[in-house]
Amino acid sequence: MAKLPTPHIGAKEGEIAEKVIMAGDPLRAKFMAETFLENPVQYNNVRGMLGFTGTYKGKRVSVQGHGMGIPSIGIYTYELFNFFGVKSIIRTGSAGAYDPDLRIGDVVIGMGACTDSNYAAQYNLPGTFAPIADFGLARKAVEKAEELGIRYKVGNILASDVFYGDNPDGWKAWQKMGVLAVEMEAAALYMNAARSGNKALCICTISDSLVTGEATSAEVRQNSFTNMMEIAFNII
C-alpha cells in the first residue's frame, strides 16, 4: 500500500468507497455527486480532478473525474485500484458512433475495448491482450437499461489515443469490424482492472456520429446524459 494521499488523489485512507463511478469531465463528476449522492463530501481537488463520496440508496459510492485519454485514466484508476482499495469502477462517458443504427443519446455498453494505444506493452505479454469488461457488471447494465426502457447496444468500442486523426476516414476500418463507437479511455480501465484483479465497465452515451455528422454541445454532454448515470448508480 502506497503512502496516502497519492500524487494525484488527495484523499486519506477510508475516504474513497470500494465502488467508484468515474467521468472524464470533473464537472460531470460534480454533477453526478450533486444529483445522485446523499450527503456528498469532496475528498479531492488535486489538479481540479474532483472526487466525492456519499451514499446512493444506502450504498456507499464515490464519484471521481479521470481526465481525457488513456494516460490520464490509467493514472487515476491505477491509484484507485492499487492504493485506495477500490474494487469496482464504472466509467460513464461520451462516445462517437460508428454504428449507423446508433442515435444521439443512445447508450453503449462496452463489452470489449479495442485500442490503438501501446498501453498493454508494459505487461510484456507474448501476444495481444483483449481488454474486456466485467461480465457481471455488463449483464446488470443490460438488465437495468431494459428495465428503464433505455435504447442501448452492447459490443466492442474503440479506446483511441487520437481525437483529431490525420486520416478523416480512418474510423471506417474499425466500423467494418463491427466496432460500435469510439471514446478514449476504456482499454486502460479494463487493463488496470484485470491486472489488479478487480471489476470495471464502461458505459457511454452517444454524443456525436461519424456516420451522420450530428453532434451535441459541451454543456449537453456535461449535464444531460443522465441515462448512463442512472444505469451506473443502480448497478455499482
Assign 3-class secondary structure to 103-129: CCCCEEEEEEEEECCCHHHHHCCCCCC
Q: Strands 19-23, 59-65: parallel, antiparallel or unpaired by DSSP?
A: parallel
| Interatomic CA distance for residues 158 and 21, integer angstroms | 20
Report how far residue 142's alpha carbon sits from residue 140's, in angstroms, rounded to the nearest whole number: 5
Q: Is 208 a catalytic residue?
A: yes
- Of 25, 106, 134, 208, the active-site residue reads 208
CB-based burial, 3-39: b 16+ in 10 Å, e otherwise? ebbbebbbbeeebbbbbbbbbbbbebbbbbbeebbee
Identify the bridge partners of residue 152 per DSSP, sorted by sequence position.
Answer: 107
Contact 6, 83 (CB under 8 A): yes
Active site residues: 208
